[in-house]
Chains A and B, each alone.
Chain A
Amino acid sequence: MKTLLVDAWQNLRTRRSHALVAVGGLALALAACALVAMTMIALSAPDPAVEDPDRVVVLDFKGNQPDRQNDWSLASPLSFGPMLRQSGAPLDRIGRVAGSGMDIRHEGRGSPAYLLVADPDVVPLLGLKPSHGDLNAALARPDGIAISVDVVRTLWGDLPPAEAVGKRIEGCGEEGDYNVFTVMAVLPNTDPRSPLYNPNPWVGGAMAMVGFDSPASVPRERQEAIYAAYIYGWVFAELREGTDAEEIGAWIHEAFVASPLYAKLPVEWKDNREAAFFRALPLSELPFKGRGKEIRWTVLRALAVASVLMLLLAAFNCMNLQTASLLQRQRETALRRSIGAAGPQLVMLWTMEAFILIASAAVLALLLAWWLAPSFAALLQLPPGYELGSPVPVSILGGIAITVLALVPLVVGFPAWRALRNPPAPALQGRTASEGPWGRRVRQSSLAVQFVGAVVLCAMAFILAAQQYHLMNADRGFETRNRVWLTIHTNPERIPDLEGFKRALANHPDVLHVALSDNVPALPVDGRIELHVSRTQHRQALRMISVSPGFFDTLGMRVLAGTPRAGSGETSIAIDESAARALGFDSPQSAIGEILRSGGDFIQEGSQERRIVAVVNDYKMESARKASMPKGFIVTDKPLWDITIHGTNAATLAQTVGELWRQHGPPLDFDIWTLDQTLAWAYRQEGAFTHLLGALSFLCIGVAMLGAYTLVADSLRRRRMELVLHRLHGASDAAIMRQASSEIAVPFLVAVFIALPLAWWLGSRYLGGFVDRLDAMTGIVLPIVVAIVATLVITAFAVLRHLRRAVSWQPIEALR
């Protein structure tokens, strides 16, 4: 074995460039596979704190409102908890958690925090463990509170968390005033795999927990009504032994139909149809559910396919190099056979060479993956807590080992079969056989596969980039350039006086317009929906947003008719063009002054009257993946917490606004983003996917180019005499170039033929996920053409050196 190893190693050393090309390509591809696999393993793991995640379920609810796209909420009205308890469902424990916000302060220091109002049963259900103190006591006592380590740091700096227990702080939930709480427990920052994890960039890890009797919660007397009508949080439950999660959906449905809430629902929601759907999801399935996670898994699956494709290309590359190498070594092979080496012994030698190559690539890949893991996690915007690659999971090591073992026969099989077919005698006489037409076709086929991979990945990268550009620049009915958005970390019910700040903004020369709203422009949100009925009985559900009168100027929107102004004594509403049409108005002008009736529960007709004061151009606040609904803007002078400022220069504007807030605004924490940054954050997953696929396709093209480079180098070496004969018979430089490049031209054309429909199909599937997308010509055809041209140009550069050499060969060589 040692002799074999030394022999194989020496053989590899003599063909160093071949070996380096093969190892480099395989290492990159294996590293990409390992990175994607590590991410998938990390993201598929359930919360490690939960003892049996298959038996703990979270209730899920999907409304079934007519004529609307309804999605699963991954949450449910909290009233389902008591409903299930009363129904006698086979559940051992049921615990509710309501999520909201809280302002916490202590001796002048304050922190906005994510507030969880929880039943004590949630503690054992989710395996919640405080780092210090008693969490059960914090939830049981009305004045008790548990706070996260981040809140401790904000309030007391370097104070050891244990010493925070027992301290008294002030806090106020979304309703009510500030109350005094006693810190009874300190919680570690929430694990990102926990169902309670809240990825809110404006709050970070600041979190507090109280019980349902806490003054920070909705008052007891109103809890039942609110928790029945709205989805405020989650209901967790533990399945009784022998119970299946699927059974629970039927129990909830039964309890829901029997509840008073069901009776209140509009008749058309229930008439021969389900008003809502229910299910219980085991926590082990939670990592795969939810819109954001589903997009993330789609991204990861696509990256996995791309990585495996790249691995396949690298393996083909390796096989090509091995074939070329064995053809070059015919004399050596013949010599070995002449001194008694049998076929299996030669195969063993070549297998050992391939094993050394692939195993070296695997080791390099693991090091690369381990080194790149933090950057990869950052690019995918995984929250802290997902420690990719430290340590590298055993399953990854096993997977790599299996891949190595699977690749060896793939790389050695064909070249060895080919090499052993040649009789040794001619090679010993100095006559080397060519690989023959079939060998050449096999190698050209594998190059064609490499080109298919490169073109498809490259096309997909361009399609994604084009769509991402479209997402960032599509006309949404408002401008984002030179606009910043300031959000205050405060209770929406108690927004402080902002007049001083608004005056300071108005007087600043860099500020052109200022607007307040209860939704962030450029950050796709669903918002509330209310049915509006016009005098002519046209009915239309409008997606609602509250804005100050300056909102439309600030966002560069066009007012088509009327004047957006807050009403005195009556509610003023501005509607967009689609809404005006849907409500039966012939023109924007004809809608002005008209009264709309709204304000009913469950998107039903209400009795509130709203006067139309303006009609503006269509405004899209939904995600590009959702269809746009007609909009209604409640125009109000009331303070709202999202402030949009239009200035002359976004970069300096953010700084200016920050300084003005510190000087003239209330002492509250705030965040300032440009609207372009907000938009990019909204489509961060798509952006990350675009970047990653771009990088992968770049690597893929690199691998394919190495393949083309070595194939052309090798085939020109083999075809040297043929080309010299062409020269001898009068071939011009161009004819020689044509001859030499035909080696890659045919595989390239075949690849284009295969890649075109494949890229079209994949591109259509990706764009099909967006309602707001590029047309087929700009979004698919153009990127595919660019990808083909780019691959062709890069290939041409890769093989140019060889082509120039081929042109320099002289016909006299025919005599040598």
Chain B
Amino acid sequence: MIEMQQLSKRYRAGEVETTALDSIDLQIDAGEYVAITGPSGCGKSTLLGIVGLLDVPTSGTLRLDGHDVTGKSPRELAALRRDRIGFVFQSFNLVDELTVEQNVQLALRYGGLPAAKQKQRVAEALERLGLSHRARHHPSQLSGGQQQRVAIARAIAARPALLLADEPTGNLDSAHGHEVMRLLRELNEEGATLITVTHSAEHAALASRCIRLLDGRVLVDAHADRVS
């Protein structure tokens, strides 16, 4: 599903150049559950940003479903993101002024779905996450775990094939963290490809594949049954 070849990302600030990702070669198949780990500054979020088409590599190629996406226009990337990718963030990134259902609907707003269809999808997503009774609430009225569930509902509302989660349990207590991870795993089991960035070894262990980064390079790429 995702194929990276010699993918690098470098930032330049004046005279200083920083390499965030250095010649990454990775292939992630559809339906995989991949955990990306590593110390702070190792390039985890940069990698997630590039895979999520939120950022462009400095060099190398990135293929999504067999198509090279490195040269695509922002409009084409936006369309791909909208249709194929769902995001879950550490800080939830919910809009305080919008209700739960409006927050979830945000993911469908630009997809061209009729309003009735959007409403149905939102209801289904909320139902799936057990949040139907909170649809009219605002995020500030929910617990952290519930907020992250709303974020997951938003991520799956458009029925993406790829779910990207950036430290999804980082702002949650352990009970809520486990609950969120269980949900994500369920979604993966239902067919979604899941890539999650995490500091938690416990949560990383839930994945079928664990990629450990260090200084922008892949240090370990471990499947549940083998280590490369």
Chain A bound to chain B? yes
- A814 lies within 8 A of B87 (CB): yes
What 0/1 readout, one digit per residue, does chain A (428-471) give for beta carbons within 8 Å of chain B? 00000110110010000000000000000000000000000000
Question: Which residues on A sit within 8 Å (CB–CB) of B11?
Answer: none
From residue 779 to 816 of chain A, which have CB atoms closer than 8 A to chain B? 810-812, 814-815
The residue in chain B whose Cβ has the minimal distance to the Cβ of A816 is: B45
Report if B182 contacts A (CB, 8 A).
no
What 0/1 readout, one digit per residue, does chain A (731-748) give for beta carbons within 8 Å of chain B? 110010000000000000
- B75 lies within 8 A of A815 (CB): no
Q: Of A437, A719, A815, which is within 8 A of B89 by CB? A: A815
Report if B79 contacts A (CB, 8 A).
yes
* Given A440-B97, A812-B49, A815-B54, residue A729 in contact with residue B75 (CB < 8 A): no
Q: Which of A729, A731, A811 has the most CB of B within 10 A?
A: A729
From residue 703 to 735 of chain A, which have CB atoms closer than 8 A to chain B? 719, 721-722, 724-732, 735
Question: Which residues on B sit within 8 Å (CB–CB) of A724?
Answer: 93
Question: Which residues on B sit within 8 Å (CB–CB) of A727?
Answer: 78
Question: Which residues on B sit within 8 Å (CB–CB) of A735?
Answer: 110
Report if B173 contacts A (CB, 8 A).
no
- B49 lies within 8 A of A815 (CB): yes
Report if B109 contacts A (CB, 8 A).
yes
* Given A433-B96, A436-B97, A732-B78, residue A815 in contact with residue B166 (CB < 8 A): yes
The residue in chain A whose Cβ has the minimal distance to the Cβ of B83 is: A730
Question: Which residues on A sit within 8 Å (CB–CB) of B140?
Answer: 433-434, 436
Question: Which residues on A sit within 8 Å (CB–CB) of B106?
Answer: 725-726, 729
Question: Which residues on B sit within 8 Å (CB–CB) of A811?
Answer: 54, 78, 81
Question: Size band of the A side of the interface?
Answer: 20 to 34
Question: Which residues on A sit within 8 Å (CB–CB) of B110?
Answer: 726, 729-732, 735
Question: Which residues on A sit within 8 Å (CB–CB) of B98?
Answer: 722
From residue 156 to 198 of chain B, which have CB atoms closer than 8 A to chain A? 158, 166
| Complex: A434 Cα to B49 Cα, angstroms | 27
Chain B interface secondary structure, helix, strand, loop or mixed? loop
| Complex: A722 Cα to B92 Cα, angstroms | 11
- A725 lies within 8 A of B96 (CB): no
Count the A-B residue pairs with Cβ separation under 8 angstroms: how many? 68
Report if B138 contacts A (CB, 8 A).
yes
- B54 lies within 8 A of A728 (CB): yes
Q: Of A719, A725, A730, which is within 8 A of B78 by CB? A: A730
Q: Of B45, B109, B111, which is within 8 A of A815 by CB? A: B45
- B95 lies within 8 A of A814 (CB): no
* Given A437-B138, A812-B54, A814-B54, residue A728 in contact with residue B96 (CB < 8 A): no
Min CB distance A110 to B, Å, is 80
Q: Of A434, A719, A728, which is within 8 A of B87 by CB? A: A728
The residue in chain B whose Cβ has the minimal distance to the Cβ of A721 is: B93
Report if B48 contacts A (CB, 8 A).
yes
From residue 674 to 726 of chain A, which have CB atoms closer than 8 A to chain B? 719, 721-722, 724-726
The residue in chain A whose Cβ has the minimal distance to the Cβ of B85 is: A728
Chain A interface secondary structure, helix, strand, loop or mixed? helix
Min CB distance A230 to B, Å, is 75
The residue in chain A whose Cβ has the minimal distance to the Cβ of B103 is: A725
- A729 lies within 8 A of B97 (CB): no
Report if B107 contacts A (CB, 8 A).
yes
| Complex: A526 Cα to B199 Cα, angstroms | 94
| Complex: A727 Cα to B111 Cα, angstroms | 12
- A730 lies within 8 A of B81 (CB): yes
- B111 lies within 8 A of A730 (CB): yes
Question: Which residues on B sit within 8 Å (CB–CB) of A440?
Answer: 97
- A729 lies within 8 A of B49 (CB): no
| Complex: A729 Cα to B97 Cα, angstroms | 18
Report if B203 contacts A (CB, 8 A).
no
Question: Which residues on B sit within 8 Å (CB–CB) of A434?
Answer: 96-97, 140
Report if B82 contacts A (CB, 8 A).
yes
| Complex: A436 Cα to B107 Cα, angstroms | 22
| Complex: A480 Cα to B106 Cα, angstroms | 66
Q: Which of A437, A440, A722 has the most CB of B within 10 A?
A: A722
Min CB distance B162 to A, Å, is 14
- A732 lies within 8 A of B49 (CB): no
- B54 lies within 8 A of A729 (CB): no
- A726 lies within 8 A of B81 (CB): no
| Complex: A421 Cα to B179 Cα, angstroms | 31
Q: Which of B96, B109, B138 has the most CB of A within 10 A?
A: B96
| Complex: A633 Cα to B106 Cα, angstroms | 79
Min CB distance B125 to A, Å, is 14
The residue in chain A whose Cβ has the minimal distance to the Cβ of B54 is: A812
From residue 50 to 87 of chain B, which have CB atoms closer than 8 A to chain A? 52, 54-55, 75, 78-79, 81-82, 87
- A814 lies within 8 A of B55 (CB): no
- A729 lies within 8 A of B107 (CB): yes
Q: Which of B54, B89, B158 has the most CB of A within 10 A?
A: B54
Question: Which residues on A sit within 8 Å (CB–CB) of B75?
Answer: 732
| Complex: A436 Cα to B141 Cα, angstroms | 11
| Complex: A724 Cα to B140 Cα, angstroms | 20
What 0/1 readout, one digit per residue, does chain B (113-131) give for beta carbons within 8 Å of chain A? 0000000000000000000
Min CB distance B4 to A, Å, is 17
| Complex: A296 Cα to B110 Cα, angstroms | 58
| Complex: A731 Cα to B105 Cα, angstroms | 13
Question: Which residues on A sit within 8 Å (CB–CB) of B107?
Answer: 729
Min CB distance A706 to B, Å, is 24
Min CB distance A695 to B, Å, is 38
- B97 lies within 8 A of A725 (CB): no
Min CB distance A212 to B, Å, is 82
| Complex: A810 Cα to B95 Cα, angstroms | 17
The residue in chain B whose Cβ has the minimal distance to the Cβ of A432 is: B96
Question: Which residues on B sit within 8 Å (CB–CB) of A730?
Answer: 78-79, 81-82, 110-111
The residue in chain A whose Cβ has the minimal distance to the Cβ of B166 is: A815
- A815 lies within 8 A of B48 (CB): yes
- B87 lies within 8 A of A812 (CB): no
Question: Which residues on B sit within 8 Å (CB–CB) of A433?
Answer: 96, 140
Q: Of A437, A810, A812, A814, which is within 8 A of B97 by CB? A: A437
| Complex: A814 Cα to B167 Cα, angstroms | 13
Min CB distance A490 to B, Å, is 78
Question: Which residues on B sit within 8 Å (CB–CB) of A810?
Answer: 54
- A722 lies within 8 A of B79 (CB): no
Q: Of B93, B111, B158, which is within 8 A of A814 by CB? A: B93
Q: Which of B75, B110, B111, B166 has the most CB of A within 10 A?
A: B110
| Complex: A798 Cα to B158 Cα, angstroms | 37
| Complex: A722 Cα to B82 Cα, angstroms | 16
Question: Which residues on A sit within 8 Å (CB–CB) of B97?
Answer: 434, 436-437, 440, 722
Min CB distance A371 to B, Å, is 45
- B109 lies within 8 A of A731 (CB): yes
The residue in chain B whose Cβ has the minimal distance to the Cβ of A430 is: B91
| Complex: A724 Cα to B54 Cα, angstroms | 11
Q: Which of A433, A719, A725, A728 has the most CB of B within 10 A?
A: A728
- A729 lies within 8 A of B96 (CB): no
The residue in chain B whose Cβ has the minimal distance to the Cβ of A735 is: B110
Min CB distance A435 to B, Å, is 8
Q: Of B49, B95, B108, B166, which is within 8 A of A725 by CB? A: B95
The residue in chain A whose Cβ has the minimal distance to the Cβ of B95 is: A722
**Chain A interface residues (CB < 8 Å from chain B):** 433-434, 436-437, 440, 719, 721-722, 724-732, 735, 810-812, 814-815
CB-based closest 5 A-B pairs: A730-B82, A434-B96, A730-B110, A812-B54, A730-B78
**Chain B interface residues (CB < 8 Å from chain A):** 45, 48-49, 52, 54-55, 75, 78-79, 81-82, 87, 89, 93, 95-98, 106-111, 138, 140, 158, 166
List, sorted by A's number, 25 A–B pairs whose CB atoms are closer than 8 Å: A433-B96, A436-B97, A437-B97, A721-B95, A722-B97, A722-B98, A724-B93, A725-B93, A726-B106, A728-B81, A729-B81, A729-B106, A729-B108, A729-B110, A730-B78, A730-B79, A731-B109, A731-B110, A732-B75, A732-B78, A810-B54, A811-B54, A811-B81, A815-B45, A815-B166
Further pairs besides A729-B81, A812-B54: 13, Cβ < 8 Å: A433-B96, A434-B140, A436-B96, A721-B95, A722-B95, A728-B81, A729-B107, A730-B79, A730-B111, A735-B110, A814-B93, A815-B52, A815-B166
